[in-house]
Amino acid sequence: MSVKIQGKGPLRGEVSVPGDKSVSHRAVIFGALAEGRTEIEGFLFGEDCLSTVSCMRQLGAAVHVNGETVSVDGVGLTGLKEPENILDAGNSGTTARLLLGVLAGQPFYTVLTGDGSLRRRPMSRVTKPLLQMGAAISGRAGGTLLPLSVQGSHLTPTTYTSPVASAQVKSAVLLAGLFAEGETTVTEPEKSRDHTERMLAAFGAAVDVRGNSVTVTGRPKLQGRTVRVPGDISSAAFFLIAASIVPGSDLLVRNVGINPTRTGILDVLTEMGADMEYINTRDESGEPVADIRVKAAPLRGVEIGGEIIPRLIDELPVLAVAALFAKGETVVRDAAELRVKETDRIAAMTEELSSLGADIEARDDGFIIRGGRMLTGGSVKSHDDHRVAMSLCIAALGAGITVDLDSPDCIAISYPSFLETIKTLGSGLQEWDK
Ligand code: S3P
């Protein structure tokens, strides 16, 4: 299957972005570990979050879907049961890594696997601290790649300093810490997204945040609650950038989660000269949310690296697209993590954007882009990575060219209605060969 995207002109009107992927995963996992019912409003029905739902069901939690609302009947911290079959996290790193933290503390045996991409992604960053806590985990490549088997055991609390700024690592250790008696602390080099800290505290756990360190006290009583999932800023980013680069655009992007650990993309776009206005800033279930009105504006290149990188890591592929339309050079450093995402996103974006005529150079830890080159239409590959696929669609809109995108199915991982939305905006879905 392939899809033809043709840049057709201004984006006008409004877009409501789907629920946040990170928050949706956590609401299901924490709801399952809590007592009583958790109602999740605005849940993201993307394939990744559905992988979490299916794993939690296999572990004994009752997860119901009523129209747009998902409800979870929690089994309590000690109520999960041994699954009869292998758990499959599909394409979802968050499912795999957070669940490893949970499974490490269960009095039973589990095997966890994932799709071809996830089976290549590093798990040692999570298994290392879990082994330190007393977990018994084994598998391929010395127990560092999925499939992994986990013989849950009695965990001891730990103090762990992670070499990478990763919310998945931090969350896995904190989740394991829930099953250990005493305090478990994780420190990271830069602050990664903090949805786990916020939501665990809202469910009743004692969570203490000091700088880049988080401490959780084990064996809390978690209480089910209503969670309103904010719109995903990582999904909003595609339209914020599309409207910025397509001349004449004026778009209202509704319901964007603006948690400060996620808003690196807004900071960078502002520095690049984007015209964005925040309207109706509010709080939903402990997460800040706003509507953002964005109008086309001339952009300029930027240099980024350091602490901002974890705050926009998932937006770097589409930021590369924005940079193609900016005046001057954009340099991204300190982003080697991109090489171990669903695909090597540095290699994939460099290969595909170069094939359209872009001036982009890959670096070990990022890329350099010189904006202002004329792009030409052609065939591009998604590399089965949802964010690469959507970024290439935005390049087509920005350049007013036709791009034939191979294997776009992966878009359903995080934004199942993305192509429909492009079509509704009238900005360019030409043909959709299913
Ligand atoms: C996520 C954390 C990030 C991000 C991923 C979702 C999460 O990964 O890239 O899309 O929900 O915790 P890392 O923890 O590997 O940085």
pLDDT tens digits, 29-76: 999 999 999 999 999 999 999 999 999 999 999 999 988 899 999 999
Contact 87, 112 (CB under 8 A): yes
For ligand 1, atom 5: residue with the closest CA: 94
- pLDDT score recorded for residue 217: 98
Handedness of CA 119, 123, 124, 128 (dihedral sign): negative
- Cα(18)–Cα(229) distance, integer angstroms: 9
Beta bridge partners of residue 19, listed in sequence order:
231
- pLDDT score recorded for residue 340: 98
For ligand 1, atom 11: residue with the closest CA: 22
> How many percent of the chain have pLDDT more than 70?
98
- Cα(429)–Cα(417) distance, integer angstroms: 12
Please tell me the distance between residue 207's alpha carbon and the centre of ligand 1 in angstroms: 20
- Cα(239)–Cα(92) distance, integer angstroms: 23
Task: Tell me the backbone φ, ψ of residue 385, rounded to 5 degrees.
Answer: -120, 120
Count, residues in the chain: 434
- Cα(216)–Cα(104) distance, integer angstroms: 16
Pocket around ligand 1 at a 6 A CB cut-off: 22, 93-94, 166-168, 171, 192-193, 313-314, 337
Domains and CATH numbers, the chain: 2-19+230-428 (3.65.10.10), 21-228 (3.65.10.10)
- pLDDT score recorded for residue 428: 67
- Relative to the CA of 168, which ligand 1 atom is closest? 14
Tokens of 290: 């706003």
Could you tell me which residue, 316 or 284, shows the higher pLDDT? 316
For ligand 1, atom 9: residue with the closest CA: 314
Please tell me the distance between residue 228's alpha carbon and the centre of ligand 1 in angstroms: 20
pLDDT band at 434 (very low <50, low <70, confident <90, very high): very low
Given 314, 384, 385, 404, which residue is catalytic?
314
Is pLDDT of 103 > 50?
Answer: yes
- pLDDT score recorded for residue 430: 59
Task: Tell me the backbone φ, ψ of residue 326, rounded to 5 degrees.
Answer: -95, 155
Tokens of 189: 């080099």
Fill in the DSSP letter of residue 233. Answer: H
User: Which of 324, 344, 325, 327 shows the shortest CA–CA distance to 336?
Assistant: 344
> How distant, in Å, are the alpha carbons of 53, 69, 74, 86 from that of 60?
11, 20, 9, 14
- Relative to the CA of 164, which ligand 1 atom is closest? 16
To the question of pTM greater than 0.85 for the whole model, the response is yes
Tokens of 243: 């409207």
Substitution candidate for ligand 1 out of 52, 100, 193, 259 with most atoms within 8 A of CB: 193
Q: How many CB atoms are closer than 10 A to CB 255?
A: 24
Kindly give, in sequence order, each residue whose CB lies less than 8 Å from that of residue 364, ignoring residues fewer than 6 positions away.
336
Tokens of 224: 């089910």
User: Which of 250, 232, 244 shows the shortest CA–CA distance to 48?
Assistant: 232
| pLDDT tens digits, 350-379 | 999 999 999 999 999 999 999 999 999 999
Please tell me the distance between residue 197's alpha carbon and the centre of ligand 1 in angstroms: 14
For ligand 1, atom 16: residue with the closest CA: 166
Residue that the structure tokens 């969350």 belong to: 171
Residues 152-182 as b or e (16 or more Cβ within 10 Å = b):
bbebebbebebebbbbbbbbbbbbbbbbbee
User: Which of 25, 97, 21 shows the shortest CA–CA distance to 54?
Assistant: 25
- Please indicate whether residue 73 is annotated as part of the active site: no
Specify the range with the lowest mean pLDDT, choosing from 3-12, 177-186, 360-369. 3-12
